[in-house]
Structures are given as structure tokens and as C-alpha cells.
Chain A
């Protein structure tokens, strides 16, 4: 019993520390003060100005949020398609070729962001490719696709290979067999690969920083970085972060509770 109380306490302390900064941002999203940590009385004006777009740096912040979402969506869709097709190919490869492609596939996952960023920056400089939206998306596809491959491959290993062959024997065209047999089996892996890609792209800073060029493209991360270096964050970032956190919290709790219920129903 003592062990249990001690364990609970340990987990609780870590969680409190982990959530302290987030709570701090959330609390100070309800005051007008320009700098974080300065309480000037309760007010929801930051939320109002976030939604009405009536703020000092409004166009900057809003376009940064838009860019972040568009880049994450495009990059993770491309990564999911490329990674799924690649996983099917890799599954059917053997020997050296398989080892080589899996080795290369591991590199972006092991490499720190800064190495991925610098190396891609040098590639685009070397190829005289002007940097901007396209290069950022290509860079994000580079570090997202390996995770899709790793999520789809186990589904292929679990699948009974005869089903696909049976579909072909029964007269399905390869395309039909793909759509009706293979894709449904792979879908959970594709989905988790997509979600992982999307979140990593949203959170990325270093790779975007090195591949966005000099056209003034800002994502949320680079916007915050530039803001902090100038001294003083745009106050509306506080309500924005609070809202993002709440949305994710609700989504994850709903998914988890539903999964737990389904699990119980199955048992």
C-alpha cells in the first residue's frame, strides 16, 4: 500500500512539473499585459483580439498559423502516400536492396533536426533551387515518410499473403485488389503514420528554419522564435496556445476513452 501511494505521488509530481509551463501560459492568457508573467487583472481581451484579428502583429500570426497547417497537411498527405507505396515495395524486396533502403529510411529518424535542416539547405543551395514553400514541404516529407513506412510495414507482416493472391485468382484487377484488399488491411498503419507526420510537421522548427529561404515564410515555430529574439512575445500567442492545448486534450481523451470502451466490449 505504501508502495502504491509512493508511486502515485511520484507520477503526480512529474505531471505537475510537466504541466506547470502550460498552465502558466493558460492562466496568463486571461490578462491583458504585454509580457508573460505580468498580471494586470482578469480580461478576455486577448481572446477577443485573436478572433477578430485586431492585433498589432495580426497578419503575421494568422499567416504563420495558416502556413503551419497547410504545410503540415500537404507534407503528411504526400508522406502517407509515398510511405505506403514504399512499404509495400520494401515488404516484397529481399536481401541487400532491402537492407540498403531500410538503412536509408532510418537516417532521417536518427538524425537531429539541425543536421536534416543543414544537409537539405546545402542540397537546395547546390542545386540552385530557390527556397520557400516547396522546399519546406519537401523537407517535411523527408523526415515524416520514414515514420509512415515503419507504421505500415508491421501491418503487411501481419497480413495473410494469400488473401491478395486469392483476389487476383478470383478475377480482380491488381488495382481492385489493392483498393479492396490491401488498403483496408493497411489503413490503421497509414492512419497512425499520417497523425504522427502531421504532429511532427506542426511542431518542427529547425528543419523549417533552414529550408524556408529568405522570402519571409513563417510558420508558428519560426514566428515564435523571431518574436522571442526581438524581445517580447505577441500576447495573442497565449490564448492561441491555450486553445490548441485544449483541443488536443479533448481529442486525445475522447479517442482514449472510446478505445478503452471498445476494448472492454471485446473482452
Chain B
């Protein structure tokens, strides 16, 4: 028994080397100057630079709006797909995932080109639409899976006991589907807050998001400042996944 637990050892070493150490290096580089001495200047540079701060705020805003939009559009879609009386074929579900297999950059470029052809100016509106387009399947799929696995007898029991369809949804179906929404939020919010190529294409380089500044700094050999910006993003990610996990635990507790 204990012998086979040692099979985890190679992967444990791999994880320390390729996951833990690189993250520690982000922290280390963000508190160093180019010659390797300890400094806080990278962090203070970010907080005193109005451009970086406003880009950061805009990225958060776009990510929050995009996540909200994905829930708003994706939840009803997932609900319909999971409802056996409305949709009986699994092929429809596959159709929602299929576009993800076509290179995301190529799809984004085509979306931007479609906007230009329709005479719509590239800007924040097209950015939100394009991002929602790119990430919607990531929202629909987890919600669909939790709804499809859900025990329908809870909802039936509530209806039998006199709850109106709306009350059944609000008090039973919605709370039970929250874990799916939480993982959807994680899968949509994280990538949108950090995206770089997609935002460049969708706004014709007019709008810069946080990911773009990280990429520019790293590519221009400003590793320390790039690392500091990544470190700030890591903190945001840590907070979001912590809140997400808490929500998740609460929803599961409520179900029992």
C-alpha cells in the first residue's frame, strides 16, 4: 500500500520544480532590481504610475463585465440544454464546445473582421462582445454539467408542496447550480483579466489590457517590472479563487 504512494514522488518533484518554484521566482524578481538587489521600487512604480493603474482598473472592469455577460447569456442556455423536456440531444451540447477547437486567435481575428465589415468601430463594445464570444462555452459547460447531474426530485418535491415555478427555481434549482456557476466564473474571469492578444485584435490596439503590459515588459527585457505586475495579478487570482471556493463550499453545505 505505502509502496505505491511513492509513485507520486516524480510528479511531486515535477510540481515543485515547474509550479512552485516559478511562482516563487515571480515574487523574488518583483522585489529585485535589474542587478539583483532587494527593492520595493517595482511595486511603488506600479502604484504611482497612472497609466498602469488605469489599465489595471479597466482590465478588472472588462473582466467583471464579461463574466456577468457570460452568466446572463450562458445560464439560460445551460438550463435549456440540461432540461430533458426542452432538449434531448447531446449533439447540441457538443455544438457549443466545438468552436473551441478552432484556433482562438483565428476566430478572434475573424470576429474583428466581421465587425469592420459591418461598419462597427472597434472599441470597448466589440472587445466585450468578442470576449464573451470566446469564453461563453467555458461558462455554459460547467453550469450544464451541474444542472444535468442535479436530482430532479428536489424540484418536483418543491412543486408538489405548492411552490410556484419561479419559487422552485429561486429556492431549489438556482442554489443547487451555484457550484457550476462558481467554476464557470473561475474559468471565465481568470483568462479575461489576463488576456493580451485577444484584446489587441478586437480593439485594433486601441485598448490595452493588463496582460498586454505584462507581455510588453517581459518582451522588452524589463523582467523585474513584468514580474511585479504578474505578482499583482497573482494576488487577484488568489483572492478570486478563495472567494470562489468559499461560495462553492457554502452551496454544497446548503444542498445537504
Question: Which residue numbers of A lie inside 8 Å of B, CB to CB?
Answer: 3-4, 7-8, 10-11, 14-15, 17-22, 24-25, 36-37, 82-83, 85-86, 88-90, 92-94, 97, 101, 104-105, 107-108, 110-115, 118-123, 125-126, 138-139, 141-142, 145, 149, 199, 203, 205-206, 209-210, 220-221, 224-225, 228, 233, 237, 241, 244-245, 248-249, 252-253, 256-257, 259-260
- On whether A221 and B103 interact (CB within 8 A), knowing A10-B77, A113-B191, A113-B194, the answer reads yes
- On whether A110 and B109 interact (CB within 8 A), knowing A104-B20, A118-B214, the answer reads no
- Smallest CB gap from B93: residue in A: A256
B interface majority secondary structure: helix
- Residue numbers in A under 8 Å from B6 (CB-CB): 89
Q: How far is the CB of A187 from chain B (nearest CB, A)?
A: 17
Could you write out 7 A-B pairs with CB less than 8 Å apart? A14-B77, A92-B2, A104-B19, A110-B190, A112-B191, A115-B194, A122-B26
Q: Assess whether B102 is in contact with A241, with CB atoms less than 8 Å apart.
A: yes
The reply to whether the CB of B256 lies closer than 8 angstroms to some CB of chain A is no
- Residue numbers in A under 8 Å from B96 (CB-CB): 14-15, 18
- Residue numbers in A under 8 Å from B234 (CB-CB): 115
- Residue numbers in B under 8 Å from A92 (CB-CB): 1-2, 4-5, 7-8
Q: Assess whether B22 is in contact with A119, with CB atoms less than 8 Å apart.
A: yes
Report how far A111 CA is from B16 CA in the complex, Å.
16
Q: For the side of the interface on B, what is the size category? A: 35 or more
How many residue pairs, one in A and one in B, have C-beta atoms under 8 Å apart?
218
Q: Assess whether B20 is in contact with A122, with CB atoms less than 8 Å apart.
A: no
- On whether A17 and B8 interact (CB within 8 A), knowing A220-B103, A221-B105, the answer reads no
Report how far A246 CA is from B21 CA in the complex, Å.
41
Question: Which residue numbers of B lie inside 8 Å of A, CB to CB?
Answer: 1-2, 4-12, 14-23, 25-26, 29, 73, 76-77, 80-81, 83, 85-87, 90-92, 94-96, 98-111, 113-114, 116-117, 133, 136-137, 186, 190-191, 193-197, 201, 211, 214-215, 218, 223, 226-227, 230, 233-234, 237, 241
